[in-house]
Amino acid sequence: MAQFGRLITAMVTPFDREGKVDYPQARSLAQALVESGSDGLVVTGTTGESPTLTREEKLRLYTEAKEAVGTRATILAGTASYGTAESIELSREAERLGVDGLLLVTPYYNKPPQDALYKHFVAIAESVSIPCVLYNVPSRTSLNMAPETTIKLSHVDNIVGVKEASGNLEQIAQIIEEAEEGFLLWSGNDSDTLPILAVGGYGVVSVASHLVGRQIARMMVAFLEGEMGEAARIHRRLLPLVKALFLVANPIPVKYALNSVGFPVGDPRPPLSAPDEKTAAAITATLRHYTIDLPLRAKA
């Protein structure tokens, strides 16, 4: 099993003014995220606007990100979609390009039953030799992967963990309790990270770590070292920022925030757009209260 680390950033995809992928800025962002505390990066996940990226863009992003971080961090490629065959094809290509693992979101839109969901993930996992992390995010896919399905999948050799964004602590605790030994669970919501650690979770796949990665890492270290008061203090302090980053659909706020602090990543691709004036003002006001951990290497 690859060690992906406790703090994984779900990296945005930078675009230029024409809406094309800005590959040099993607490399710079990957490096900056590692320098500010990330152990690993998810490339072309939901935060990376994967539904708007072409196959060719995704594959090049995997190559660029892996070359940028080398062995300093791991790259998880978001290769799954609603089609099993398409997911297998992209997963195999990502493995060929040298990514460290795959992040496999539950199929959206078509809502397969749980037994079909199990077969879908097994088929993808068996098509590659690298580790796979499941991703359960019912608020986006309209489908919750039942804990029993996740637990059953934990016995597949190269399915090594799950990013849980259900917000259901009872479900999360059941997975941690009953899954195969060594199967890891990462929080999929920044606001849930500390509660999930408290029930035995491993870490977080974060959006807020674009801005405050070292502070999130410090919170987890404090928890693991028994400094519960310090961990809780950091968690509470970060909550207003987390709230601001989800005022509207992710990644609209985090891209606006990165642009605002001096790390250009462009606007989201349609059908997403830049935030409206009221939302933008709220994000800007919130950012004033935080130290930004990201090294700012703005483009000339």
Please tell me the predicted confidence (pLDDT) of residue 21.
98
What's the average model confidence in pLDDT over 187-195? 97
Please tell me the predicted confidence (pLDDT) of residue 297.
64
Average pLDDT over all residues of the chain = 96
Outline where 142-206 has alpha helix (H). 147-153, 169-178, 193-198
Please tell me the predicted confidence (pLDDT) of residue 300.
40
Give the domain ranges of the chain: 7-228
Residue 131 has pLDDT above 50, yes or no: yes
Q: pLDDT by residue (tens digit) across 134-159?
A: 999 998 888 999 999 999 999 999 99
SS3 102: strand
Beta strands at 40-43 and 74-78: parallel, antiparallel or unpaired: parallel
What's the average model confidence in pLDDT over 81-106? 96
Distance CA 178, CA 160 (A): 14
Which residue in 118, 163, 255, 290 is the catalytic one?
163
For the 7-228 domain, the top CATH level (class) is alpha beta
Please tell me the predicted confidence (pLDDT) of residue 1.
44
Instruction: Give DSSP secondary structure letters for 225-249.
Output: TT-HHHHHHHHHHHHHHHHHTTSSS
What's the average model confidence in pLDDT over 169-176? 98
What's the average model confidence in pLDDT over 30-52? 97
Banded pLDDT at 184 (limits 50, 70, 90): very high
* DSSP category for residue 104: E
Which residue in 23, 118, 135, 202 is the catalytic one?
135
Residue 2 has pLDDT above 80, yes or no: no
Active-site annotation holds for 135: yes
Active-site annotation holds for 163: yes
**CA 183 from chain center: how many Å?**
18
Residue 110 has pLDDT above 90, yes or no: no
> Tokens representing 256?
């606006």
What's the average model confidence in pLDDT over 99-109? 94
Q: pLDDT by residue (tens digit) across 56-71?
A: 999 999 999 999 999 9
